[in-house]
Amino acid sequence: MSVVLGIETSCDETGVAVVQAGREVLSNEVASQIDLHRVFGGVVPEIASRQHTKVISQLVEKALEDAGAEVDAVAVTVGPGLMGSLLVGVCFAKALAYAWGKPLVPVHHIEGHIFSAFLGEHAPEFPFLALIVSGGHTQLIDCRAPHQYAILGTTRDDAVGESFDKVARLLGLPYPGGPSIQQAAAGGNPEAFSFPRAMRDKDTLEFSYSGLKTAVLYALRAEGAAPAPADVAASFQAAAVDILLIKTRQALALTGARRLVVAGGVAANRLLRERLTKEVDAEVFMPPLAYCIDNGAMIAAAGDSRLRHGVMRWWAISRRRPMRVSRCTPHRGTR
Ligand code: KG4
Ligand code: ZN
């Protein structure tokens, strides 16, 4: 039963956690930089890496102290992400692993999000389908066995979280857009505008979110229009979530997967969580809210599994050619 220290610095959260046996979080420290970036309306890479440098030592010390356990390995996000930010975490993790004489486990950020599902009350079993929805990614991934993945569909342009952030900006709502839109939408009519559901009828599991953002822009700029921001937010959120549901249902039907993991920052969205629980014909695994946004615990969980399976090479999850719906192969042993 290994104890793994996980370090995540790929974007604007410094996350450090200690996790036992890949599931039990002994400590979890997250220093968010949102307040520093908010005035700019998005993440400023130079500010992000400098802030990671400032806080990482104290976060590691605090996480180790709170965990009170001896660490067997150090797992760190090696990409994708902002290079300056990644370097802070990678160099720190390397130095610790070297000084302690413990293995260093490189973890792909998206694999980390997938493993955040193992930090919930019930852990999924392989094989499962994963819907990863974050600020940088919108992906349907066929997770056949630990560390064996096939990307079935990804976004052609904006990621879904990115579209929340951009639409929030159009509405004058603060960064990050996801929580702001969710809050604004609470008082709005989701049917006030019928925004497009791109790719809904296409024979592909690809996503596209830039047209949705543009449709919102046109609605706001329409002559004589003075739409209630709450209605725009609610209608946008309804469309953004609807597309995720449509493509996820298609992917479940095609792979025959019985389990669905939903992770990444947008997995914190209340409407998405409600609709997935009610409307999807699969057992749904969503991490607790604290592990949806970037954190070190998910990196430690993925690192623990890599260590157990002896898969220490750098995992490159490449962008494959768009997967045609008709070419998906069903999971073995599933319906
Ligand atoms: O996974 P994450 O913390 O960082 C990346 O890997 O990108 O995801 C951040 C994204 C942001 O775009 C943010 O607006 C979105 O997750 N987000 C949400 C919610 N909370 C965060 N989107 C929709 N609803 C939310 N409640
Ligand atoms: Zn992330």
Task: Using the mean position of ligand 2's atoms as its centre, give its distance from the Cα of residue 294 in Å.
Answer: 5
Question: Counting atoms of ligand 1 from 1, which one is nearest the CA of 113?
Answer: 1
Taking only the tens place, the pLDDT of each residue in 18-32 is 999 999 999 999 999
What does the pLDDT look like over 55-93, one tens digit per residue?
Answer: 999 999 999 999 999 999 999 999 999 999 999 999 999
> What is the number of the ligand closest to the CA of 186?
1
Question: Which pTM does this prediction carry?
Answer: 0.92
Residue 146 has pLDDT above 70, yes or no: yes
Nearest CA to ligand 1 atom 16: 265
All residues with CB under 5 Å from ion ligand 2: 134, 294
What residues does ligand 1 touch, defined as CB less than 6 Å away? 11, 134-136, 161-162, 164-165, 176-179, 182, 264-266, 268-269, 293-294
pLDDT > 90? residue 272: yes
pLDDT band at residue 322 using 50, 70 and 90 as cut-offs: very low
Q: What is the pLDDT of residues 245-261, one digit of tens each?
A: 999 999 999 999 999 99
Domain ranges of the chain: 3-117+292-309, 125-286
Which CATH number describes the domain made up of 3-117+292-309? 3.30.420.40
Ligand 1 atom, smallest distance to 161 CA: 12
Question: What confidence category does residue 319 fall into, taking pLDDT thresholds of 50, 70 and 90?
Answer: very low
Which ligand 1 atom is at minimum distance from the Cα of 109? 6
CA of 165 to the centre of ligand 1 (A): 8
Question: If you average pLDDT over residues 216-228, what whole number do you get?
Answer: 87
Check whether 314 has a pLDDT greater than 80: no
The number of the ligand 1 atom at minimal distance from the alpha carbon of 165 is: 14
Over 70: is that where the pLDDT of 327 sits?
A: no
Q: How far apart are CA 134 and CA 266, in angstroms?
A: 5
Probe ligand 1: pick from 293, 295, 299, max atoms within 8 Å of CB?
Answer: 293
Q: Which CATH number fits domain 125-286: 3.40.50.10470, 3.30.70.1140, 3.40.50.1390, 3.30.420.40?
A: 3.30.420.40
Ligand 1, pocket-test mutation among 85, 164, 261, most atoms within 8 A of CB: 164
> How many angstroms does the Cα of residue 162 sit away from the middle of ligand 1?
8
Long-range CB contacts (within 8 A, 24+) of 51-56? 51/12, 51/14, 52/9, 52/14, 52/85, 52/88, 52/89, 53/88, 55/14, 55/31, 56/7, 56/9, 56/14, 56/16, 56/88, 56/89, 56/92
pLDDT band of 331, cuts 50, 70, 90: low
Pocket test for ligand 1, best of 169, 266, 317 (most atoms within 8 A of CB): 266
| pLDDT of the residue at 311 | 83
pLDDT band of residue 202 (cuts 50, 70, 90) is: confident
Query: Atom 10 of ligand 1 has which residue's CA nearest to it?
Result: 135
Do 3-117+292-309 and 125-286 fold alike per CATH? yes
**For the chain, what is the mean pLDDT?**
92
Give me the pLDDT at residue 201, please: 81
